[in-house]
């Protein structure tokens, strides 16, 4: 099966613990994740297996995406979850957010592994979605993340 892996990172002018807290605060996702328009469902607390549903708007379409927590390591500031459309399609994405202290600020790296499982997602949509994520959504979200955390501009 085809897998596309995308990575984007930025150095933010904000404390690493605050950045990680913003990333893992599900109620704040629409503030900085440019594709998420609303949080529809969320767990009482984050633990392995916890699920949440968000409304997504991308590629001129809107849909619900269900995510399930796979890793939440506070010491390493690592947050990993698997997301799928809420329509039963077997295609999925694995998202990993890594936050680390750097001499020049806080590095945030997001890696997305796209796993298209149906014909049209493998043949066409993966290329379009990959391009949109790499060239706008991921960089824009990293920029907005800093604004949501501290109200300043990112240095890239």
Q: Name the residue ranges covered by the structural domains of the chain.
A: 4-150
Task: Give the domain 4-150 fold.
Answer: Alpha-D-Glucose-1,6-Bisphosphate; Chain A, domain 4 (3.30.530)
Q: Are strands 92-102 and 4-12 parallel, antiparallel or unpaired?
A: unpaired
CB-count exposure of residue 108 (10 Å: 0-12, 13-18, 19+): buried
Cα R_g (the chain), whole angstroms: 15
Which pTM does this prediction carry? 0.83
91: DSSP letter: -
Round to whole Å and give the CA distance between 99 and 12.
Answer: 10
Q: What is the pLDDT along the chain (156 residues), one digit of tens a residue?
A: 577 788 889 999 999 999 999 999 999 999 999 889 999 999 999 999 999 999 989 778 898 999 999 999 999 999 999 988 877 767 788 999 999 999 999 999 999 887 665 655 555 566 656 666 666 677 888 888 998 997 543 443
Round to whole Å and give the CA distance between 77 and 70: 14
């Amino acid at each position: 099966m085809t897998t596309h892996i995308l990575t984007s990172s930025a150095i933010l002018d904000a404390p690493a613990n605050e950045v990680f807290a913003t990333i893992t605060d599900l109620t704040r996702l629409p503030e900085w994740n440019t594709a998420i328009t609303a949080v529809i469902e969320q767990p009482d607390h984050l633990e392995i297996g916890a699920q949440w549903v968000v409304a997504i708007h991308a590629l001129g379409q809107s849909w619900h995406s269900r995510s399930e927590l796979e890793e939440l390591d506070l010491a390493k500031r690592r947050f990993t979850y698997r997301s799928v459309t809420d329509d039963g399609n077997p295609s999925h994405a694995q998202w990993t957010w890594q936050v680390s202290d750097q001499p020049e600020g806080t590095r945030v790296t997001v890696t997305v592994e796209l796993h298209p499982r149906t014909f049209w997602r493998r043949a066409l949509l993966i290329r379009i979605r990959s391009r949109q994520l790499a060239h706008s959504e991921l960089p824009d979200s990293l920029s907005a993340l800093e604004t949501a955390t501290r109200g300043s501009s990112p240095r890239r």
